[in-house]
C-alpha cells in the first residue's frame, strides 16, 4: 500500500472519436451520432462506487478520485500508526452509519450524507457544491405519508 497524496494519472494521452465504443451514425460510421448516443453520461451506466465524470477531461476524472485517494491515505496512515484495528473500526462505524440512517425525501433523502457520516469521514468542517445544490431542486416533492407507506410496505 502506498501513501499516495494525489490520485493516479489514469487518462490516456490521446483521444480519437473514430475508435469510440458506439459504432456511430449508420450513414457515416466514422462520425459520432449525438442523437443515438446522447449528450453526457448515460444514467444506466452509472455506478455507485465510482461515478464517471460528465466530460472526458483528465483533470475532472482526477478531481472525482481526490476524496477516495485522501480517504485511503488516511486509513493507511492509521494502519501504520495504530495497527489494523483502527481502520477496521472506522470502516465499520461508517458502514453502520450509512446503512442505518433513513431520512424522508422532503429532507433531501439520501442524496446528501448525514451529519454522522460527515463527522466519521472528516468532512464536517467543509461546505461543498453538492451540499448546496443537490440536484433535487427540480424534482416534484413526495408527500411524507406516501413515502412512509412505501417504506413500510403498507
Residue 76's pLDDT is what?
93
Look at 19-28, 47-56, 104-113 and tell me which has the smallest mean pLDDT: 47-56
- Residue 81 reports pLDDT greater than 90: yes
* C-alpha cell read off for 133: 445544490
Whole-model pTM: value is 0.55
Torsion angle of C-alpha atoms 115, 99, 65, 23, degrees rounded to 10:
-130
Q: What whole-number percentage of the chain has pLDDT above 90?
A: 15
Is-contact 130 112, C-beta < 8 A?
yes
- What is the pLDDT, as a whole number, of residue 46? 46
Does 89 have pLDDT greater than 90? yes
d(CA 55, CA 41): 8
What integer pLDDT is reported at residue 49 of this predicted model?
47
**Phi, psi of 6, deg, nearest 5:** -105, 140
Q: How far apart are the first and last CA of the chain?
A: 49
> CA 5, 7, 10: angle at the middle one, nearest 5?
150
Residue among 131, 129, 105, 104 at smallest CA distance from 117: 131
Q: Which span out of 16-20, 112-116, 124-128, 133-137 was modeled with the highest average pLDDT?
A: 124-128
Per-residue model confidence (pLDDT) at position 41: 52
pLDDT higher for 47 or 58?
58
User: Distance between CA atoms of 88 and 101, rounded to whole angstroms?
Assistant: 20
Q: What is the pLDDT of residue 82?
A: 93
Amino acid at each position: 500500500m502506498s501513501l499516495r497524496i494525489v490520485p493516479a494519472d489514469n487518462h490516456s494521452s490521446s483521444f480519437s472519436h473514430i475508435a469510440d465504443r458506439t459504432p456511430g451514425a449508420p450513414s457515416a460510421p466514422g462520425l459520432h451520432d449525438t442523437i443515438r448516443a446522447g449528450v453526457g453520461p448515460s444514467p444506466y451506466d452509472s455506478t455507485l462506487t465510482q461515478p464517471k465524470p460528465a466530460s472526458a477531461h483528465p483533470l475532472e476524472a482526477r478531481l472525482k478520485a481526490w476524496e477516495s485517494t485522501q480517504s485511503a491515505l488516511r486509513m493507511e496512515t492509521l494502519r501504520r500508526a495504530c495497527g489494523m484495528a483502527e481502520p477496521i473500526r472506522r470502516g465499520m462505524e461508517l458502514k453502520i452509519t450509512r446503512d442505518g440512517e433513513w431520512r424522508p425525501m422532503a429532507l433531501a433523502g439520501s442524496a446528501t450524507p448525514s451529519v454522522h457520516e460527515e463527522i466519521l469521514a472528516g468532512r464536517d468542517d467543509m461546505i461543498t457544491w453538492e451540499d448546496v445544490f443537490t440536484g433535487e431542486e427540480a424534482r416534484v416533492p413526495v408527500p411524507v405519508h406516501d413515502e412512509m407507506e412505501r417504506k413500510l410496505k403498507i
